[in-house]
Homo-oligomer: A and B are copies of this chain.
């Protein structure tokens, strides 16, 4: 079945969305708007309508130009249509009630109203930001039906649930070039993210050129850094797309790169090189008792505060390893002298000083959970990697906070897993309305210990779309089937505008196959996924001397095929068509190992796939036995079932940092009732 048929034919019911009609459920919008009503008819895009822009600034006119180009890219119609001048029969009226802030602010109204009829489009917003969001909604509404390209008649009133919808990218562990960031910003714009949080410094590297402290660039970056010109360009690029850029410089821990340049400010001696792997164990924090620390941070934060115009400035503050402070006699003596009783208090002391520096340079301080301390001013913002309990406590203390726990994309969970996480759930659900307001949103996070620029897109997209919807759409929008259907469309559309999540994954698999039959490798690849959470570290420590080009790196975090097969298997007892398709898969799994085996031994990239391939063959064999039993009408005996389940369990072992994710399908078959004859 073609995607266009899916678009027009399937009517998956969407929970949520107050005014959503059955018809609106067909639309491929992500995030789903807060209010949408679909009417009869559509605006045909044979010709672009006459455009009239009122009250808007340059961001909207350049956004409109990009909109026209995006329309042209998909439809082939010209960017501009000078012939249309006299034709005011169809109108595209764009109206902004006011200009936006000079530096995009957290409080800005991002809502918009969009009406599409057969006669034209009306898009209005209090602010350019809403209009930019409206353009993206229009692009997603466009579909190619039997009448050609058209936009269905709709009325949308859309406003985000949370004002902070971020994506964090760690550019310290593995550096990401400007072009990589820009195409990810394009993806962010498509799903209405509004904050790009760059984790710019860590033990592994300091990634922005410093003119004030050039040593940081020279020795703390290993040559991979953004020039100030590149930063300004990036910030401008993001701003044009309604996205703020929040810089993070992680202190006092996670700061070995700084300390390579300034070893005298470290809490322990011996820092001579930036961290390149988990085997590098010397990772002291800054010495918070040394005045030079504050002088350096004042210099650099001052410089960076100018470079990054956003009102928030992220100082990290997480995971400070206290043992270095414990073992430093000078620090211990200083603590005694200043009546600072423990490391927690010492970090609080540090944060207070840092907060004043950040404030002096005109910014609100942002940091991870660990910065929370009651004596900090209420303008700080706390990003929570610890989760609901921590976020609730932070809000109770009166601090603004946002959720990242549950949105760590690098943990390789499914889109559904992230989609189920809500910033206002758990302990946060019990907060007062006032306290709840302090929970201003969330951030998807992509840490990059195991992620190069070749891998990044496939680790972020399309799953980040599900998080974007959670943060924008009404709480009630929770239908997972609908989400996956729309996510698949989004995934294609993002590829078409330049994201590389699918192509780079395929390229990497092709490189692994290295000219051997691609299909054999693909058969295996779609049945496995990278291990989840932090399991990879247990068998393969992060180490930049190891190339990241194995199947675990090539494969997307989530196999759409496997999800579909697992769902199909639950219908095996009742659905002959499902059984026929399952049989094809099972035969392929059973037979793939013998075919692929000769190719696996001859490359380091493939040898570790041997056990996975063998397990898959076992699962294919067991699944076929179970399917035969279902179709013969003779139930498996309890003994047979047990034997089969034992085989499945034996096959369900992780290898090569991957796991076979079609195990549930085979389990379903073993457990299924036979067909009545």
Q: Which residues of B contact A434 (CB under 8 A)?
A: none
CB within 8 Å of B: which A58-89 residues: 69, 72-80
Q: Hey, what's the 0/1 contact readout for A140-182 against B, CB within 8 Å counting as 1?
A: 0000111111000000000000000000000000000111000
- Checking B75, B515, B549 against A72 with a beta-carbon cut-off of 8 angstroms, the contacting residue is B549
Q: Copy number of this protein in the oligomer?
A: 2
Q: Which residues of B contact A78 (CB under 8 A)?
A: 545-547
Q: Which residues of B contact A80 (CB under 8 A)?
A: 545
CB within 8 Å of B: which A493-543 residues: 495-496, 498, 500, 503, 506-507, 510-511, 514-517
Any B CB within 8 A of the CB of A229: yes
Complex contact B545–A73 (CB within 8 A): no
Any B CB within 8 A of the CB of A340: no
Any B CB within 8 A of the CB of A550: yes
Q: Which residues of B contact A546 (CB under 8 A)?
A: 78-79
Complex Cα–Cα for A503 and B496 (A): 11
Any B CB within 8 A of the CB of A7: yes
Q: How far is the CB of A190 from chain B (nearest CB, A)?
A: 15
Q: How far is the CB of A461 from chain B (nearest CB, A)?
A: 14
Q: Which residues of B contact A544 (CB under 8 A)?
A: 79
Complex contact B604–A76 (CB within 8 A): yes
Q: Which residues of B contact A179 (CB under 8 A)?
A: 177-179
Q: Which residues of B contact A79 (CB under 8 A)?
A: 544-547
Complex Cα–Cα for A605 and B72 (A): 10
CB within 8 Å of B: which A599-657 residues: 601-605
Q: How far is the CB of A605 from chain B (nearest CB, A)?
A: 4
Any B CB within 8 A of the CB of A4: yes
Complex contact A74–B514 (CB within 8 A): yes
User: Chain B: which residue is nearest A547 at the CB level?
Assistant: B72
Any B CB within 8 A of the CB of A432: no
Complex contact A76–B547 (CB within 8 A): yes
Query: What is the interface residue range for chain A against chain B?
Result: 35 or more
Complex Cα–Cα for A114 and B517 (A): 32
Complex Cα–Cα for A265 and B144 (A): 50
Complex Cα–Cα for A149 and B147 (A): 54
Complex contact B503–A144 (CB within 8 A): no
Any B CB within 8 A of the CB of A102: no
Complex Cα–Cα for A75 and B546 (A): 11
Complex Cα–Cα for A531 and B227 (A): 43
Complex contact B602–A146 (CB within 8 A): yes
Q: Which residues of B contact A454 (CB under 8 A)?
A: 498
Any B CB within 8 A of the CB of A2: yes
Complex contact A511–B73 (CB within 8 A): yes
Any B CB within 8 A of the CB of A425: no
Any B CB within 8 A of the CB of A338: no
Q: How far is the CB of A450 from chain B (nearest CB, A)?
A: 14
Any B CB within 8 A of the CB of A336: no
Complex contact B515–A3 (CB within 8 A): yes
Complex Cα–Cα for A145 and B601 (A): 10
Complex contact A516–B604 (CB within 8 A): no
Any B CB within 8 A of the CB of A492: yes
Complex contact B604–A77 (CB within 8 A): yes
User: Chain B: which residue is nearest A603 at the CB level?
Assistant: B144
- Checking B2, B149, B515, B545 against A492 with a beta-carbon cut-off of 8 angstroms, the contacting residue is B515
Q: Which residues of B contact A229 (CB under 8 A)?
A: 227, 229
Using known A-B contacts A144-B514, A507-B495, A510-B492, determine if residue A604 contacts B75 with beta carbons closer than 8 Å. yes
Interface centre among A79, A227, A511 (most CB of B within 10 A): A511
User: Chain B: which residue is nearest A503 at the CB level?
Assistant: B503
Q: How far is the CB of A320 from chain B (nearest CB, A)?
A: 31
Using known A-B contacts A69-B547, A510-B496, determine if residue A7 contacts B515 with beta carbons closer than 8 Å. yes
Q: Which residues of B contact A144 (CB under 8 A)?
A: 514-516, 602-603
Q: Which residues of B contact A517 (CB under 8 A)?
A: 2
Q: How far is the CB of A503 from chain B (nearest CB, A)?
A: 4
Q: Which residues of B contact A503 (CB under 8 A)?
A: 500, 503, 506-507
User: Chain B: which residue is nearest A177 at the CB level?
Assistant: B179
Using known A-B contacts A4-B516, A515-B4, determine if residue A75 contacts B605 with beta carbons closer than 8 Å. yes
Complex contact B511–A507 (CB within 8 A): no
Q: Which residues of B contact A511 (CB under 8 A)?
A: 73-74, 496
Complex contact B547–A602 (CB within 8 A): no
Complex Cα–Cα for A547 and B492 (A): 20
Q: Which residues of B contact A514 (CB under 8 A)?
A: 4, 74, 144
Complex contact A148–B602 (CB within 8 A): yes
Q: 12 extra interchain contacts, Cβ-Cβ under 8 A, other than A177-B179, A503-B503? A: A3-B515, A72-B549, A74-B511, A77-B547, A78-B546, A78-B547, A144-B602, A147-B602, A148-B603, A179-B179, A495-B510, A496-B510
- Give me 15 A-to-B residue pairs in the complex whose CB atoms sit less than 8 angstroms apart, sorted by A's number: A4-B514, A73-B547, A75-B604, A76-B604, A78-B545, A79-B545, A79-B547, A144-B514, A146-B602, A148-B603, A149-B604, A229-B229, A496-B507, A500-B503, A503-B503
